[in-house]
Amino acid sequence: MKNKIIYLDNASTTKVYPEVVNEMNKYLLIDYGNPGSPNKMGEDALKVINECRKKIANELGCKDKEIIFTSGVTESNNLALYGIVNANKDKSKNKILISKIEHSSIYEPAMELKNKGYVVKEISVNTNGLLNIDELEKEVDDKTLIVSIIHGNNEIGVLQNLSKMGKLCKKKGVIFHADCAQSFGKVKIKAKDFGIDILSACAHKIHGPKGVGLLFIREGIEIKHLMLGGGQEKGMRPGTENVAGIAGFTKAFEIIAKIDKNKIKDLRDYFMEELEMIGGKINGSKEERLYNNVNVCFNGFDADEIVLKLSLKGVICSSRSACLSKQMGENRVLSAIGLNEKDINGSLRFVLSEFNKKKDIDEVIFELSKLVKV
Per-residue pLDDT of 36-56, as tens digits, reads 999 999 999 999 999 999 999
Mean local confidence (pLDDT), 116-128 = 98
Please check the confidence at residue 327 and state whether its pLDDT lies above 60: no
User: How does residue 2 score in pLDDT terms, banded at 50, 70 and 90?
Assistant: low
Mean local confidence (pLDDT), 254-260 = 97
pLDDT attached to residue 323: 56
Domains in the chain, number: 2
Mean local confidence (pLDDT), 247-259 = 97
> C-alpha distances in angstroms, 39 versus 14, 46, 214, 242?
36, 11, 26, 18
pLDDT attached to residue 294: 98
User: How does residue 319 score in pLDDT terms, banded at 50, 70 and 90?
Assistant: very high
pLDDT attached to residue 1: 54
- Predicted confidence (pLDDT) per residue in 185-195, tens digit: 999 999 999 99
For residues 105 and 193, membership in a common domain is answered with: yes
For residues 303 and 356, membership in a common domain is answered with: yes
For residues 310 and 246, membership in a common domain is answered with: no
pLDDT attached to residue 207: 98
pLDDT attached to residue 354: 98
Mean local confidence (pLDDT), 291-319 = 97
CA-based angle 110:327:275, to the nearest 5? 100
- Mean pLDDT of the chain, nearest integer: 95
Domain boundary among 241, 256, 271: 256
For residues 204 and 338, membership in a common domain is answered with: no
Q: Which of 204, 158, 169 is nearest to 20 (CA)?
A: 204
User: How does residue 322 score in pLDDT terms, banded at 50, 70 and 90?
Assistant: low
- Predicted confidence (pLDDT) per residue in 195-232, tens digit: 999 999 999 999 999 999 999 999 999 999 999 998 99
For residues 231 and 285, membership in a common domain is answered with: no
Is the residue at 144 inside a domain?
yes
For residues 62 and 185, membership in a common domain is answered with: yes
User: How does residue 321 score in pLDDT terms, banded at 50, 70 and 90?
Assistant: low
Domain of 199? 18-256
Q: Which of 315, 208, 181, 243 is nearest to 33 (CA)?
A: 243
User: How does residue 320 score in pLDDT terms, banded at 50, 70 and 90?
Assistant: confident
pLDDT attached to residue 324: 55
Is the residue at 98 inside a domain?
yes
Mean local confidence (pLDDT), 11-30 = 98
CATH code at position 180: 3.40.640.10
Is the residue at 1 inside a domain?
no
For residues 244 and 281, membership in a common domain is answered with: no
Domain boundary among 232, 256, 280: 256
For residues 154 and 288, membership in a common domain is answered with: no
Rounded CA-CA distance 235/239 in Å is 9
Task: Give the contacts of 93 (CB within 8 A, at least 6 positions apart).
Answer: 142, 143, 144, 145
Rounded CA-CA distance 127/89 in Å is 38
- Tell me if residue 267 falls in helix, strand or coil: helix
For residues 156 and 217, membership in a common domain is answered with: yes
Q: State the amino acid at position 369 in one-letter form.
A: S
Which value, to the nearest 10 degrees, does the dihedral of the CA atoms of residues 149, 150, 155, 159 take? 100
- Give the predicted TM-score (pTM) of the model: 0.95
For residues 205 and 57, membership in a common domain is answered with: yes
For residues 90 and 217, membership in a common domain is answered with: yes
Helix, strand and coil in the chain, % to nearest 5 = 40, 15, 45
Is the residue at 116 inside a domain?
yes
CATH code at position 356: 3.90.1150.10
Catalytic residue ranges: 323
Strand partners, 95: 119, 144
pLDDT attached to residue 373: 87
For the chain, percent of residues with pLDDT exceeding 90: 95
DSSP label at 157? -
For residues 106 and 66, membership in a common domain is answered with: yes
Contact 196, 40 (CB under 8 A): no
Domain boundary among 189, 224, 256: 256
Please check the confidence at residue 330 and state whether its pLDDT lies above 70: no
Rounded CA-CA distance 86/79 in Å is 10
Mean local confidence (pLDDT), 238-265 = 97
Locate the DSSP E strands across 242-339: 281-282, 293-297, 315-316
